[in-house]
Each structure stands twice: as structure tokens, then as C-alpha cells.
Amino acid sequence: MFLMGCSADVETFNDIVLGLCTLGRLREAARLVDRMMKRGCVPSAMTYGFLLQGLCRARQVDEARTMLGRVPELNVVLFNTVIGGCLFDGKLTEAMELYEIMESKGCPPDARTYSILINGLCKRGMVGSAMQIIREMEDKGCIPNMVTYTMLLHSFCRKGMWDDIRAMLEVMSAKGLSMNLQGYNGMIYAVCKEGRMDDVMTLMQEMKCQGYKPDICTYNTIIYHLCNNDKMEEAEYLFENLLDEGVVANGITYNTLIHALLRKGSLKDAINLANEMVLHGCSLDVVTYNGLIKALCRDGNVDRSMALLREMTENGIKPNNVSYNLLVSELCKKRRVRDALELSKEMLNQGLTPDIVTYNTLINGLCKMGWMHAALNLLEKLRSEDVRADIITYNILISWHCKARFFDDANMLLNRVVSGGITPNERTWGIMVPNFVRKPLNLLSDEVEGH
């Protein structure tokens, strides 16, 4: 463009600066701004905004602060960018320093500035400081909005400050702001995440007192976290009372409870709940099917697991590699290696590619049957399938060849490991050394006897 004698305007430069900053090429972006000025094109606030945003994203906030000090015409957006970057990088003191000098630079804080600071303080649990910022905000005629109050309410929830929550809800109501159902669900999620399940129940009662009825999202959040906190009885109690509350369970509710029951080892209860789920018109997802397949396999019921795989496809749920790998593994354990090989072919028909886990399981199964040649043929097949053998593959083969006393073949496999750039691990040497060192050299005993 320059060679053709054309000059670029500030918008063109800005587009290129933005592109470079997005790609993380900050030095090139800064050099371009220097070149821009040499050509008599004055960078705009947007130019500096892109650079500051790029530096903050790269966590180079000290450089961003230095650049902010050199910007000829500052505005509140530029300050907000760097304040946000400082807080994201954990530099609260630096963020507060910028907040304090804003007004003297002709850039009074706006609602966005206050929200950034309050969010940063709340994340650090500094609720008192966040409240102080709200007071300053109001003193300067900037009215807190729903987002601002929600941040504080979430912090109060995490700290169990129920009296403060009630007081703030009253303040909000007096100002014509009211927490909606989504707001309460957000607070419930925040408290659940902290593992404060007793406080969650208190918050749900508070929600009802304020005239909001918990919906299925509310219950799903609580049930999920109760299950994760080993409180299955409470989770089941909530689930059983959903209809009394006028709420209908959905697929997420059922899938959550089925996973929890499977983790607990309650296979029968999980299957019963899965049947109930289908009767109520909800579909199991692939993760739930995999959980049931895994549990049935663990219970030694591989044929029922195979039937479940067929049911998945019939119900329009596409199995994934995990589904097939679970069954391949169990079939190999049952010495049904031919069935496992057929299942690996079926994977291809389903548009799936057997992975290294599939192949390692099959190789182990073939070796277990004594079919060493077939196992080595499968190893060769990996290359054509664009699957890279790993140290586990070779450890399986070396171990079985040693057990069959095919030591030359085991040694050949070890050489392939090293020449293929794979590092033998502790397991590899644990297999090789006992099999290749026939008689330990007791040098210490000889030395003692010699003395």
C-alpha cells in the first residue's frame, strides 16, 4: 500500500493493530503505532484501547499501566481496561491506585468502573471494601444496578451473611429493583459451589418468602451438589417431593441421580430409575448409558451391557469410544476376544475410530489367549490406522512374550521401543530385568568372604 504511494488512515491502522493484538503479537502492534505517528497519523483512543486490552490479556499489566501514563487523551474506558487487567492479575493495590487518580485526570469513574472493582473485591472475599465502593458510587451520583447488587449478594451467600442478604433485598426493593428467579438460582449455585448445603436450604426458604417459586433449574443444581457431597438421602428426598412442589423432573435430574447411584454401587436402583426415566418420556444421555454399561460389566453381566449398547443406537443415542472400550475390555477379560474384535469393527461402521486404549485392550486379550502372532499383526496394523503405539502397548507385549519364554522376541520389542523414540518406564524394566538376569551377582558377599 505504501509502495503504491497510498497513505493509510487511522481506521486502517486500528484494524491492523487489533488483528496483531488478537494474535498476541503485541510488540509488532506497538511498532506499528510508532510507524503510524512517524507518518503523521495520530493514534486514536481506540488505538490505545486495543493495545492496552492486548497487554492486559497477556497479563502484562505493568506495561499497560506505563502505556496508560503516556496516552495523551485519557478516557474512562482506557482506565477501566487497565483496572480490570490489574484485578485479573491479582494486583488489587495497583487497581485501587488507578481508581483514585481517575478523577484528577478528568475521567470520573462510571458504573462499569465500580462494577469491575466490586467484582474484584467480592472475588477476594473483601465484602466490606466492596460495600465501601458502593457507598462512594452513590455519593458520586452513580446509581448501582442489578448487576452490582447481584455480585454483593453472591458474596453474602458464600459467607452465610443472611441478615445482610435480607437487608440488601429490602434496599433493592426500595429502589425499584427486585431479584428475579434467575438471580436466586445464581446465588444458589454460588452457595452450592462452596459446599454449604445447609445454607442452600436456608436460601431456598428465603427465595420462597420473597414470592419466588424454585423451578427445575433450582432443584437440579441442589440435587447435583447434594450428590457430589455424599448426601444421597437428601438428594432423593428432594427428588421424591418434586411433584408436591409442582415441579416435573427432567433428563438432567434423572441423569444426575443415576450417576450418583452408580458411583455408590447401587446398580439395581440406578436401573430402576433409568426405567422410570424412560417411562416419563426422558432420554438417557451417552454418559448415563456408559455408566450403566460400566456397572453391568463390573457386575460380570457383559451380555446385558451389549444389549444396552444396541438399545442406545435404537434410541438414537450415538455410542462413543468409551462405550465400546468398556465392552471390548470386558469381552477380553471373559476370553471372548473374537467378539471384542468384531465390536472394534462395528466401531468403524458407527463412524468411530478405535483409539490406542481399544488396541491395547485387544492386544492384551490376544496375548492372554496365547495368540502372540495375531497380537504382533495388530501392532503392525496401528501404523496403517494412524494410531501411535505407546509404552503401555509395548509393556503388554513384552510381558506376555516373557511369560511365554520368547525372550528374543521380547528383546526385539524393547529395541523397537528405544528406536521408535519411546522411553521405557519403570514397568518396562520391572518386566525385563527379572526375566533376563538369570542369577544375581552377589558381589558384596564375595568381598566379605575375601576379607
Closest CA to 369 of 327, 339, 395, 407: 339
The count of other CB atoms within 10 Å of the CB of residue 310 is 10
Task: Look up the pTM and report it.
Answer: 0.62
What is the number of domains present in the chain?
A: 1
Contact between 61 and 69 under an 8 Å Cβ cutoff? The reply is no
The answer to whether residue 94 is domain-embedded is yes
Q: At what angle do helices 10-22 and 26-38 cross, to 10 degrees?
A: 170
Range of the domain at 95: 1-108
The answer to whether residue 148 is domain-embedded is no
How far, in Å, CA of 47 to CA of 56, rounded?
15
How far, in Å, CA of 132 to CA of 101, rounded?
17
The answer to whether residue 79 is domain-embedded is yes
How far, in Å, CA of 34 to CA of 42, rounded?
10
The answer to whether residue 35 is domain-embedded is yes
The answer to whether residue 71 is domain-embedded is yes
The answer to whether residue 27 is domain-embedded is yes
Closest CA to 35 of 74, 7, 62, 63: 7
CATH number of the structural domain spanning residue 36: 1.25.40.10
The answer to whether residue 10 is domain-embedded is yes
Q: What is the pLDDT along the chain (451 residues), one digit of tens a residue?
A: 343 344 456 777 778 877 877 887 888 887 877 777 776 677 778 888 888 888 888 888 898 898 888 888 889 999 999 999 998 888 889 999 999 898 888 889 988 898 899 988 888 888 888 888 888 888 888 888 888 888 888 888 777 787 887 788 788 878 888 778 888 888 888 888 888 888 888 888 888 887 888 999 999 999 999 999 999 999 999 999 998 888 999 999 999 999 999 988 899 999 999 999 988 888 888 988 999 999 999 888 999 999 999 988 888 889 999 999 999 999 999 999 999 999 999 998 888 999 999 999 999 999 999 999 999 999 998 888 888 999 999 999 999 999 988 888 888 999 988 888 898 899 988 888 887 765 444 444 443 333 3
The answer to whether residue 47 is domain-embedded is yes
**Ramachandran class of 386: left when φ > 0, alpha when ψ lies in -120 to 50, beta otherwise:** left
**N-term to C-term CA, the chain:** 89
